[in-house]
Structures are given as structure tokens and as C-alpha cells.
Amino acid sequence: MAAAAAASIRERQTVALKRMLNFNVPHVKNSTGEPVWKVLIYDRFGQDIISPLLSVKELRDMGITLHLLLHSDRDPIPDVPAVYFVMPTEENIDRMCQDLRNQLYESYYLNFISAISRSKLEDIANAALAASAVTQVAKVFDQYLNFITLEDDMFVLCNQNKELVSYRAINRPDITDTEMETVMDTIVDSLFCFFVTLGAVPIIRCSRGTAAEMVAVKLDKKLRENLRDARNSLFTGDTLGAGQFSFQRPLLVLVDRNIDLATPLHHTWTYQALVHDVLDFHLNRVNLEESSGVENSPAGARPKRKNKKSYDLTPVDKFWQKHKGSPFPEVAESVQQELESYRAQEDEVKRLKSIMGLEGEDEGAISMLSDNTAKLTSAVSSLPELLEKKRLIDLHTNVATAVLEHIKARKLDVYFEYEEKIMSKTTLDKSLLDIISDPDAGTPEDKMRLFLIYYISAQQAPSEADLEQYKKALTDAGCNLNPLQYIKQWKAFAKMASAPASYGNTTTKPMGLLSRVMNTGSQFVMEGVKNLVLKQQNLPVTRILDNLMEMKSNPETDDYRYFDPKMLRGNDSSVPRNKNPFQEAIVFVVGGGNYIEYQNLVDYIKLSQLGQK
């Protein structure tokens, strides 16, 4: 997660992709250019990288007629150049060699998502020779794009094998050294690609004794090696000059998930975080199952099939951009407002229609004509805008309704409020046991989450008797108690380290059950759902970032190690050489971040830009 880079990482990645699709030549828009056509072949990794950034229409604009998976059945299409965008794995290489042998396409532009090894390159060379297709291989590139950008300022490592780099993979007790190495290598590779695309060499800071430290050491080593190799360095020349206007280098903060386990378990309340938590949301695409209303279907008729709909939440969607960090009740209100303004505009267009209809009957209306043609033109030209607006409103209405249904069914607002109270150590009005034993409120998973947060944030562990009581209640509710075991162990470790992270003072103020939303009789009947407002707080991750960026002295972060790949001699000290505060930072959580933290960081940026703290 980067903060305000000169050209956002999303733009850079998109530009890189477009250049790749244009046969590795920078793309220039020419309105009277001849069409060129090509075929795009990708593997699942490539698909995940491209899909949040380029829509099918944009692919068409770049001249791509077909986009196919590498490992699918593909027919030969002669006289067409093919652009490949794949990871350099064994199977992919085999399949590509097979393609070469089968002469599927006219020319081949091979692009590897991360760097390919020499031996694999020779494999391809071998196959090309065997197929007498060496001249057909027009270009081979290492793209260094092995990360997925979801937002202007947020990226994730991967989607396909995210299990590999998940918290569980890193922290499970039975992990072997070699497996750990593989995981670390994957992470470092992606981070390296990220910095190559960003065109900057960061200063790295990480906490000691954690997985994050391992990552930092490896990353530092890799960057250093690359910088030393003057001939092939990726960080010289155009890349730096074009992109970087600030002479400051960015700060990379590597934190381990273990410093704060409560936030990922926390129930969410902002729009984007809720969509991710509650609905099926991946790579900016949300899949909804619309259940048709319960109707009196005739006896014996087949049950109505639920429609599956999927929506893309893109940067073009202005409503999404504005409201993805807002608390949910606000979102509901805004959707209402948008709907009303859309209806007003629609009515105006309809009114014009009736005026036009009058004109034929009444000659006196001809004098109105002068205004009306202008009005009509503007109305007609605004029609596409109106339609787009309607589409967005429909989209968000559906999504928000789905989210609301979940909230109501699982009483997520209650959970959220309670957890906030626990995490801020204010007094609890309801007993935890009550909530857990309540059959209506939430799935077993929700209850487990709540309990774990309680356990994590408690200053001292609950007594054995209490614990047994809780355990019984949880098992009654259908929860699996394994997570509890793990958290117990974790807490034991964490006790040896610093005190459990505090979450600052937060209060959630319920805005009353009857909000304006209900009074206007909107679709979003938030009856019985508390209208909670978030007060600004700083999560542990944000605090760490704040300290490091502003070079504040704080017992938590003073101990962090300091790496500067550009320095000649590797230096183990934790005394930063650079005394100036940083302007740009990238926060990476080894073990997975979440939308709550992302939102918190974004809010922190906004606040600091406004000059408040």
C-alpha cells in the first residue's frame, strides 16, 4: 500500500501492460491508424493481473481479438501474432514449446511475468529449433509485473496461490526450512517486481525477529545485487527519470501479521470492507446471488433459480470511489440521494418530450423552439451519462441491499459495536456470554471471531472457569475450537514480546435507531440496525507507520532494523542514516493485510494532508 506516488502504481502497471500488448513498443494513440490484430494468451496469474486493470473493451482497443488461457484447447490461427503473458513455470514452458511445435500462430511475443531462468530459456530455444520456429519468436521480455494492483494505492501479491503466502503458511508449526524459503522467495520476488515497476529503491524498515525480517533481509540482498550489476540494473536511466519527481526515496515498512491479530478478525463497517467480508469479492469483482422474491409458486413448479450476477467495482465508478471508505449507513443514504437526483434528471428529459409533443399543435410554441432545440440536444447528449448513472445506481443498490441483508441476518452491527468496545477497553454493557449464546445473532464464525478478539485484547486471560463456560457456549453454537488453541499459543508468545497492542480510544456513537433514512421511506430499511459512526482511530499498523515516517521516537519502533540497498556496505545498525521524514511509504504486511487497515491508512493520509494529527 503506497501513499501518493507520483504516478500511481496502477497507472504504471497499466502503462506497462499496454506497452507489452503493443508489441513492446510504447503505445501512441492515432485516430487514423491502421488496425493491427493480435491474440493474447495468458495463464491464471496473467489473468489475475490483467483483469482488474484492463476491461475487455480496452483489450479490443489495443487490437486484441481473442484472449485465451494458456492451458486450454487452442486452434491454430494462422497469420496472427500472439502475445504471451505467463509465469515461467515448468508446465507453462512445456505448453509454450508445444505451441511452437504445432505452429499455432504466425509470430510469438513472449512476456514473462517475472524473470525467467537461463535454463528454461534454453528449453524454449530447444523447442523453437526443433520446430524450426526460431524466427517466429519475435521478442522475449521479462515484464517484472508479478503483483496485482487493485486500487490506485493498493496491491496484493497474488490470487491464485495465495494459500502459499498466507499467514497460515508462514506461521504453522510444522513448516520446514525449505518450505519457508520458498514462501519467502515468492514474497520477495513480488516485492522486487513492485519496486522495479515503481522505479524506486526504497529504504526498508522491519521489526526484529519476525518473518518480516526474513523478507527484509532477502529483499535488501536482491535489490543490492541488482544495483551492483551496473549493466543490467533495472533502476537506472529512464525508469527513474521519468517517474520520480521527488528526490526522496520511499519507505518500505515490513510488518508481520502477528503484531495485530485482532484487526483481521474484526467485523467491518465501511463499505468496501463490508463487501469484502460479507459477499464474494475478489479482484474488484463482486458476485451476487439474487434470490427472487418469495412468491406463491404453483404447486409442483420447479423452484426458481437464483440469478447470479457479478459486478465490477472499478475506478471509473465514481460512487464507489467516493464511498468505499464510508460507514455503511452513509452509503445507504448516498445511494438514495443519487437515485433521487437521477429521477429528477429523468423527469426533466421526459418533460422535454411532452413539450415537443405540444409543438405540433400550437403554433405559438414555435417561439419556444429556439430554446428547445438546444435543450433537446443537451438532453440527448446527456442520455448516455444518465444511462451510466442508472447502471451504477442499480449496481450499488443491489450490492448494498445484499450487504444489508447479511447485516440484518447476522446482526453484524451488534458485533461491530461490541468489538469496538472491547478493543478500546470501554465498559461492556452486554455480557459476552449473552451474545455468544444468542441463537439469532450471527454464524458460528462470527461468534468465534468475537471471542477471539476478546481473548486477544484481554489484559489478563480469563479464569479457567470462565473459559470453560465460554468454550461450552461456543461449542453449543457450533464453533470449532481450534482457532482458540492457536490464539492461546500466540498470546503466550506475544506476552514475551511487547505488551499487546492498544487500539487507542475509540467510541462508537449510535446515532439512534430512527435515522433520516428510515423517515424518507427508502429501500434501505435500517430498522433495528444501529446507525454507528466511526470515530477516527489509529490501528497499530498506522501507528507504526506514523512513527517511522515522522521519525518519531517510540519504544515500539525504535528497535526496527534499517536497510538501505543503495548503501555500499550492508549495515546492521538500527540507527537510520536518513534523518528527514519520509514523503512516501509502502506498508506491507507479511501474512496478509486487510481492508480495514487499508482504509485506516487512507484516512490517516487524508488527515495528515490536512495538517491535523
Partner 1 sequence: MAVDITLLFRASVKTVKTRNKALGVAVGGGVDGSRDELFRRSPRPKGDFSSRAREVISHIGKLRDFLLEHRKDYINAYSYVMSEYGRMTDTERDQIDQDAQTFMRTCSEAIQQLRTQAHKEIHSQQVKEHRGVVLDFIEDYLKRVCKLYSEQRAIRVKRVVDKKRLSKLEPEPSTKTRESTSSEKVSRNPSEDSEEKPVTEEHPEKVPAESQPELGTWGDGKGDDELSPEEIQMFEQENQRLIGEMNSLFDEVRQIEGRVVEISRLQEIFTEKVLQQEAEIDSIHQLVVGATENIKEGNEDIREVSTLGPPGPPQCGTESRQQRSSCWQGGTSALLWPSPQGSPPDGAGQSHFDPRQTPDPRCYQEP
**Residues at the contact surface with partner 1, assessed by CB under 8 A:** 16, 19-20, 24, 31-32, 34-35, 37, 39, 60, 63, 65-66, 68, 74-75, 77-80, 103, 111, 115-116, 118, 121-122, 124-126, 128-132, 134, 137-144, 196-197, 199, 232, 234, 238-239, 369-370, 373-374, 376-377, 380-381
Closest CA to 585 of 605, 609, 558: 605
Task: Please state, in angstroms and rounded to a whole number, the distance separating the CA atoms of residues 17 and 27.
Answer: 10
* Under 8 Å between Cβ of 394 and 523: no
CB of 82 to partner 1, least distance (A): 11
Residues β-bridged to residue 486: none
CB of 38 to partner 1, least distance (A): 10
CB of 237 to partner 1, least distance (A): 9
Task: Please state, in angstroms and rounded to a whole number, the distance separating the CA atoms of residues 319 and 331.
Answer: 9
Kindly give, in sequence order, each residue whose CB lies less than 8 Å from that of residue 173, ignoring residues fewer than 6 positions away: none
Of the two residues 77 and 518, which places its CB atom closer to partner 1 in the complex? Answer: 77
CB of 124 to partner 1, least distance (A): 7
Of the two residues 60 and 606, which places its CB atom closer to partner 1 in the complex? Answer: 60
* Under 8 Å between Cβ of 268 and 262: no
Task: Please state, in angstroms and rounded to a whole number, the distance separating the CA atoms of residues 243 and 241.
Answer: 6
Of the two residues 17 and 589, which places its CB atom closer to partner 1 in the complex? Answer: 17
CB of 239 to partner 1, least distance (A): 5
* Under 8 Å between Cβ of 326 and 271: yes
Of the two residues 114 and 258, which places its CB atom closer to partner 1 in the complex? Answer: 114
CB of 217 to partner 1, least distance (A): 25
Helical H runs in 199-324?
Answer: 211-228, 238-243, 262-265, 271-278, 318-323
HSE on the CB side for 177, CA within 13 Å? Answer: 0
Closest CA to 208 of 557, 561, 551, 547: 561
Furthest CA-CA distance within the chain: 91
Of the two residues 358 and 514, which places its CB atom closer to partner 1 in the complex? Answer: 358
Task: Please state, in angstroms and rounded to a whole number, the distance separating the CA atoms of residues 34 and 612.
Answer: 54
Task: Please state, in angstroms and rounded to a whole number, the distance separating the CA atoms of residues 434 and 31.
Answer: 67
CB of 262 to partner 1, least distance (A): 40
CB of 152 to partner 1, least distance (A): 20
What SS3 state is found at 426? coil
What SS3 state is found at 537? coil
Task: Please state, in angstroms and rounded to a whole number, the distance separating the CA atoms of residues 301 and 389.
Answer: 37
CB of 492 to partner 1, least distance (A): 46
Of the two residues 16 and 494, which places its CB atom closer to partner 1 in the complex? Answer: 16
* Under 8 Å between Cβ of 601 and 265: no
Instruction: Report DSSP state, residue 497.
Output: S
Exposed e or buried b per residue across 452-488, where buried means at least 16 C-beta atoms within 10 angstroms of its C-beta: bbbbbbeeeeeeeeeeebbeebbeebebeeebbeebe
Task: Please state, in angstroms and rounded to a whole number, the distance separating the CA atoms of residues 275 and 533.
Answer: 18
Closest CA to 144 of 184, 115, 179: 115
Of the two residues 356 and 605, which places its CB atom closer to partner 1 in the complex? Answer: 356
Of the two residues 78 and 303, which places its CB atom closer to partner 1 in the complex? Answer: 78
Cell triple for 152: 490506485
Of the two residues 58 and 445, which places its CB atom closer to partner 1 in the complex? Answer: 58
Of the two residues 80 and 511, which places its CB atom closer to partner 1 in the complex? Answer: 80
CB of 533 to partner 1, least distance (A): 45
Q: Element (H or E) spanning 563, and its range? A: strand 561-563
CB of 24 to partner 1, least distance (A): 7
Of the two residues 119 and 459, which places its CB atom closer to partner 1 in the complex? Answer: 119
Of the two residues 25 and 294, which places its CB atom closer to partner 1 in the complex? Answer: 25
CB of 317 to partner 1, least distance (A): 24
Instruction: Report DSSP state, residue 571.
Output: -
> Is the alpha carbon torsion for 191, 53, 593, 92 positive or negative?
negative
Of the two residues 236 and 502, which places its CB atom closer to partner 1 in the complex? Answer: 236
